[in-house]
A = this chain, B = another copy of it.
Amino acid sequence: MQRTLIIDALNAEKARNDITLCGWVRTRRDAKGFSFVEINDGSCLANMQCIVDEGTEAHAALGEANTGAALAVSGELVASPGKGQKWEVRAKGVTVFGLADPESFPLQKKRHTDEFLRGIAHLRARTNKYGAAFRIRSEAGRAVHDFFHGRRFAWVHTPVLTGSDCEGAGEMFRVTTLAPGEKNTDGDFFNRPCNLTVSGQLEAEALALGLGRVYTFGPTFRAENSNTPRHAAEFWMIEPEMAFADLTDLMELGESLTRHVIEHVLSHCEADVKLFDNFVDKGLLERLHGMLRQPFARVPYAEAIHILEDSDKEFAFPVTFGVDLQTEHERYLAEEHFQRPVIVYDYPKEIKAFYMRLNDDNETVAAMDMLVPRIGELIGGSQREERLDRLEARIRELGQKPEDYWWYLDLRRFGSVPHAGFGLGFERLLMLLTGITNIRDVIPFPRTPGNLEF
């Protein structure tokens, strides 16, 4: 089927006397002598206005087709006298592929609540807002790949099915082929307990210590039974890992990646971002441009604690050296104190994971979190402990057995190198880019406790 995408037709340099567009009717208005039909094909936010003269075969073919119907319209692409669009189509032929009964089609012109639209997730990509969100999702993903490819990182696929809970990053889903109620793991697919990964980091480290620079970009899982606008059971993570790199290199990487994705989306999804600025989060565009205007702030954890202690703000969670920062603290630092993204580093070892590199003070580790306005933590990472003796000691301190980490320790046994990496929650980045405040609305088919439809 030969057709031109609406985005290409709207960007045409000159009129064309023979063009075919396909799409779904967004609005139809019948005037004296002709019908205006606006169609959208998902290639961009904008619709193409088509004019179908009464008394023509095209008009007869159009019939009762209304909002939601799928059409092909062929005709002439001509300059539009209306404002807001450069081109319109004077229809010569119309084909209706599928109608949408106005009585039952749920997406009529009126605005719907986000919650209602979550119940019809299979149709919501046909709305302006979700079409825009998913185009931004695609372009942001593209920008991530571009960024790492440009720096010669290899995209690696770490396993989703895992036998280890090394990171202890949260509750895990169990995976099995046994019937419900069956207990004997000997007959299970892997002959041992299997979980869904919470992080590809440990495997990414192994690959970085051969390929040099790698990143993962794949789904990750948490079985936390928390119904908040920020948590989903299934989400996508980006986890770069660099050999021969330290914490300073990692901060540079995180800041550059964030800037690159913002820049890419601002320049490639202008209309889509503007929609969110207009209707979802006034000030979004200014906030994003503002983030690009100056370098991100960097502050040691100890100093961040002083800043929080000295502030007049009343926090629900009190602050002292040694506490884990809560979202309220993170947002205060980024939104009010620094008024820009801030990288906090050198956290107390007690509140961070076992694999983070111990600093010379013996109290803090070479960890960093990047905090951004509206979101809080966007990135969490660290230089990894590359010294075998210290890593083994830390594992024992935490009451675990080094044998359980045999292959991870091998990486320190043979040709160990300073290396560093972080995790970036892709959905949090999308919430930053769109101003959407509920994670369920940046994922096409979100998974949360009790929600597995579609």
State which residues 117-141 of A face B: CB under 8 Å. Answer: 120-127, 130-131, 134-135, 137-138, 141
Residue contact A98 to B416, C-beta cutoff 8 Å: yes
State which residues 382-396 of A face B: CB under 8 Å. Answer: 386
**How many Å from the CB of A206 to the closest CB on chain B?**
4
State which residues 173-224 of A face B: CB under 8 Å. Answer: 173-178, 180-183, 185, 189-194, 196, 203, 206-207, 209-213, 218-219, 221, 223
Contacts of A447 in B (CB 8 A): 159, 161, 190
A68-B414, A125-B206, A181-B183 are known contacts; what are 9 more A-B pairs with Cβ within 8 Å?
A5-B212, A42-B212, A99-B415, A100-B415, A126-B415, A131-B211, A134-B207, A159-B454, A203-B454
A333 at the interface (CB under 8 A from B): no
**How many Å from the CB of A219 to the closest CB on chain B?**
5
Q: Which of A5, A173, A183, A244 has the most CB of B within 10 A?
A: A244
Contacts A98-B414, A98-B417, A196-B175; is A134 near B159 (CB within 8 Å)?
no
Contacts A175-B196, A415-B68; is A160 near B207 (CB within 8 Å)?
no
**How many Å from the CB of A272 to the closest CB on chain B?**
11
Contact of A452 among B98, B161, B182 (CB under 8 A): B161
**How many Å from the CB of A434 to the closest CB on chain B?**
15
Residue contact A125 to B211, C-beta cutoff 8 Å: yes
A43 at the interface (CB under 8 A from B): yes
Residue contact A159 to B234, C-beta cutoff 8 Å: yes
Residue contact B138 to A156, C-beta cutoff 8 Å: yes
Chain B residue nearest to A8 in the complex (CB): B152
State which residues 413-454 of A face B: CB under 8 Å. Answer: 413-418, 443-445, 447, 449-454
Which of A55-63, A282-290, A317-325, A404-412 forms contacts with chain B?
A404-412
Contact of A138 among B155, B191, B407, B444 (CB under 8 A): B155
A157 at the interface (CB under 8 A from B): yes
A162 at the interface (CB under 8 A from B): yes
Cα distance, A105 to B413, chains bound together (Å): 8
Contacts A189-B223, A233-B161, A445-B159; is A142 near B149 (CB within 8 Å)?
yes
Chain B residue nearest to A184 in the complex (CB): B180
Cα distance, A177 to B195, chains bound together (Å): 10
Number of interface residues of A (CB under 8 A): 114
Give the interface of A toward B (CB within 8 A): 1, 3, 5, 7, 22-25, 41-43, 68-70, 72, 97-101, 104-105, 107, 120-127, 130-131, 134-135, 137-138, 141-142, 145, 149, 152, 154-163, 171, 173-178, 180-183, 185, 189-194, 196, 203, 206-207, 209-213, 218-219, 221, 223, 225, 233-234, 236, 243-246, 249, 386, 407-408, 410-418, 443-445, 447, 449-454
Cα distance, A142 to B7, chains bound together (Å): 24
Could you list 12 examples of A-B contacts with CB < 8 Å?
A23-B212, A41-B244, A100-B414, A125-B210, A126-B415, A156-B444, A163-B452, A174-B180, A189-B449, A190-B450, A191-B450, A407-B453
Residue contact B418 to A123, C-beta cutoff 8 Å: no
Chain B residue nearest to A185 in the complex (CB): B180
Q: Which of A145, A157, A163 has the most CB of B within 10 A?
A: A157
Contacts A123-B210, A418-B97; is A176 near B177 (CB within 8 Å)?
no
Contacts A99-B415, A415-B99; is A157 near B137 (CB within 8 Å)?
yes
Residue contact A415 to B452, C-beta cutoff 8 Å: no
Cα distance, A234 to B218, chains bound together (Å): 13
Chain B residue nearest to A124 in the complex (CB): B210
Contacts of A454 in B (CB 8 A): 159, 203, 206, 407
Chain B residue nearest to A207 in the complex (CB): B125
Contacts A3-B244, A99-B415, A454-B407; is A155 near B175 (CB within 8 Å)?
no
Contacts of A194 in B (CB 8 A): 452
Contacts of A162 in B (CB 8 A): 452
Cα distance, A212 to B142, chains bound together (Å): 18
Cα distance, A123 to B205, chains bound together (Å): 10
